[in-house]
Structure 1
Amino acid sequence: MRVLQYRAEFDATVTFRAGGGLHAQRFRLDVPHADPTESELSALFVAACRLHDVDAVAVADVRVFAEPHLGTHPADPRTRWVELSHVISAGLVTYPGLPAPEITPHLTREASRDVYAPGTEFAIDRLTMVGNTGTYLDSPFHRYGDGSDLAGLPLERLADLPAVVVRTAGSGVRGVGVDALENLTVAGHAVLLHTGGDVHWATPEYAVDAPFLTAAGAQWLADHGAALVGIDSVNIDDITPDAAGTRPAHTLLLAAGIPVVEHLTGLENLPPAGARFTAAPPRVAGFGTFPVRAYASVPAIEPHDHLRSGGWLPTSGG
């Protein structure tokens, strides 16, 4: 089976803060889904061209089309699969103050023998838990009553996203800020914050002075078109008393329609770039947060650079 990817073709006009600008005609680049917004295209364009000091980008004559993926196929035997989720088990607390999951039998194997033909038996179990259990994804509905719920999230925001890993583990830095992000290409990517916070998983220390994403960092990621943001810590926001209950990273990212994945693990097993990330929850209506099986595929060979540009018509400066 051939895997499809989406490309966009468009004209772009750029103006710079210092004066001058440039114009591109029939510029082509990869996009993460079939219906990119103008802001997503602008962010992808700026990142692809490594432009700086940009004042504004206007795009026109946008055409999105699908074509076979040029990189390593997910089923390629050379692909390495990396598990990025914690195991959920009965009684294991994910977030301090929230109840642990309860797993109880609904139909035991022994009881099922009276229901099915001889030699046939099944187990049906009941799982009682809050949505914030294990490694889970926050949809905009988690923060905003009128935001997209789990059922409303498009797969293009959850599956097979190009990933970029931001490493602060071992640095002693708690707040991941713009300085850790500004040299990275994040437009259309799953941005995974490798803070090392997961080393304290399932211990009281997990929630003590845990790493987090700063408000400025969250705003930068929203402004630069990140598709999803994940962290291997207890919360993407600072939960210490000093934060006084504010949640700027959730507020900014979810307002921009960017899903958040918390309680990741194993990010040290991913390269800085080149992996593909997936974290898809079930389609539950009227629900904001749910556990995911988060994982990544890493090709054994470096993926192709899919960027293809059309003609440039510089106007001046920049």
Structure 2
Amino acid sequence: MTEYRASFDAAIAFSNGGDLTVHGFRVDLPGPDTAEPDIAALFVASLGLLMTDTVELANVQIFPEPHKGTRGGPSDPRHNREPEPGDGRGRLVELSHLPQEGGTYLEAPGGDLGAVELVKSVDLPAVVVRVTGARRSPIGVGSLAPFDVRGHAVLLHTGVREGHCLASDAAAWLVANGAVLVGTDADGLDDCAHEARPARESLLGGGVPVVERLTGLERLPPTGALFTAAPPRLLGVGRVPVRAYARLPLA
């Protein structure tokens, strides 16, 4: 089977300031028709660049060449590996607000909490994506691409109640890359100034539960914790308060 790679120049701007320019960079591709946004995401993932705001590609060339094992690419040995659940003996961290503080909520795909499987809400390997201190702009694919999200709960640590919404293409990227739950410490994933909820709708439409108004995410490591937010089995009910918590990895 023919394998493909891409060569390109790239200019990156970071959400906390600064930029980076590269020339003639190469990444493995899943196929010859890989779109430029996907190439940009592979580039960010390959370098593990955090808080990436924008990526502009130029001089993109796609050609047949054996894969070199690009991190996050189709030949990365982690790509098809199941996430490790851990041994479950670490310290517990409270991540939910009290009801008088507004509570923490889980919304179920299809508006049916009874259909939320335990494998999508209990002891999920967590990835914490920190955008605290960044400009209050939509969280894009560039902020997510450095992380292996397949089989994980992706927790967005914004540090604010509103202002850091999730871009709709980033939500679609999370679905396509196998995230099983998405949470945020903000009041919602979308811009509260608008009625449309494209990020939430994209996630729920892709079968991914959403947890909003988390707290305490600053106490979690970027990876290694196990996240739980199990809702009651209520048929025909779509959104309820939940007790969310995480179990830290052993030191």
Rate the CA distance shift 1:71–1:170 in 2: closer, same or farther, 3 A.
same
Which residue of structure 1 aligns with residue 94 of structure 2?
Answer: 83
Q: What's the Cα RMSD here?
A: 2.8
Which residue of structure 1 aligns with residue 209 of structure 2?
Answer: 259
Which residue of structure 2 aligns with residue 166 of structure 1?
Answer: 129
The equivalent position to 1:151 in structure 2, one of 114, 117, 126, is: 114
Farther off after superposition, 167-176 or 225-234: 167-176
2:227 is the counterpart of 1:236: no
**How many residues matched?**
190
8 Å Cα contact 1:47/1:187 also seen in 2 = no
Distance in 2 (alpha carbons) for counterparts of 1:295 and 1:176: 23
SS in structure 2 of the partner of residue 249 of structure 1? helix
8 Å Cα contact 2:85/2:124 also seen in 1 = no
After superposition, residues 190-229 of structure 1 pair within 5 angstroms as 190-197=153-160, 206=161, 209-229=162-182
The equivalent position to 2:108 in structure 1, one of 120, 124, 139, is: 139
Which residue of structure 2 aligns with residue 275 of structure 1?
Answer: 225
The equivalent position to 2:77 in structure 1, one of 45, 49, 52, is: 49
CA deviation vs aligned residue, 1:123-149 (integer Å, no higher than 9, x gap): xxxxxxxxxxx101010123xxxxxx1
- In the TM superposition, residue 45 of structure 1 has moved relative to its aligned partner by 8.6
Rate the CA distance shift 1:235–1:140 in 2: closer, same or farther, 3 A.
same
- The one-letter amino acid of 2:96's match is S
8 Å Cα contact 2:182/2:209 also seen in 1 = yes
2:127 is the counterpart of 1:177: no
8 Å Cα contact 2:30/2:73 also seen in 1 = no
- The one-letter amino acid of 1:226's match is A
2:246 is the counterpart of 1:293: no
Distance in 1 (alpha carbons) for counterparts of 2:157 and 2:31: 33
CA deviation vs aligned residue, 1:94-142 (integer Å, no higher than 9, x gap): 3xxxxxxxxxxxxxxxxxxxxxxxxxxxxxxxxxxxxxxx101010123
Which residue of structure 1 aligns with residue 31 of structure 2?
Answer: 16
Normalised by the length of structure 1, the TM-score is 0.54
8 Å Cα contact 1:210/1:234 also seen in 2 = no
Distance in 2 (alpha carbons) for counterparts of 1:277 and 1:139: 16
8 Å Cα contact 2:85/2:125 also seen in 1 = no
- The one-letter amino acid of 1:279's match is A
Rate the CA distance shift 1:169–1:15 in 2: closer, same or farther, 3 A.
closer
SS in structure 2 of the partner of residue 296 of structure 1? strand
The answer for unaligned runs of 5 or more in structure 1 is 1-12, 24-43, 52-58, 95-133, 143-148, 198-205, 302-318
SS in structure 2 of the partner of residue 250 of structure 1? helix
CA deviation vs aligned residue, 1:199-253 (integer Å, no higher than 9, x gap): xxxxxxx4xx53211112111111111110000001111111xx3x111111110
Distance in 2 (alpha carbons) for counterparts of 1:249 and 1:220: 10
Rate the CA distance shift 1:85–1:156 in 2: closer, same or farther, 3 A.
same
2:26 is the counterpart of 1:73: no
- In the TM superposition, residue 49 of structure 1 has moved relative to its aligned partner by 3.1
8 Å Cα contact 1:47/1:185 also seen in 2 = no
Distance in 2 (alpha carbons) for counterparts of 1:170 and 1:224: 26
8 Å Cα contact 2:184/2:214 also seen in 1 = yes
Distance in 2 (alpha carbons) for counterparts of 1:159 and 1:249: 23
Q: Which has the larger radius of gyration?
A: 1
8 Å Cα contact 1:83/1:296 also seen in 2 = yes
Distance in 1 (alpha carbons) for counterparts of 2:225 and 2:104: 19
CA deviation vs aligned residue, 1:278-313 (integer Å, no higher than 9, x gap): 000100111001111111111223xxxxxxxxxxxx
Normalised by the length of structure 2, the TM-score is 0.68
- In the TM superposition, residue 184 of structure 1 has moved relative to its aligned partner by 1.0
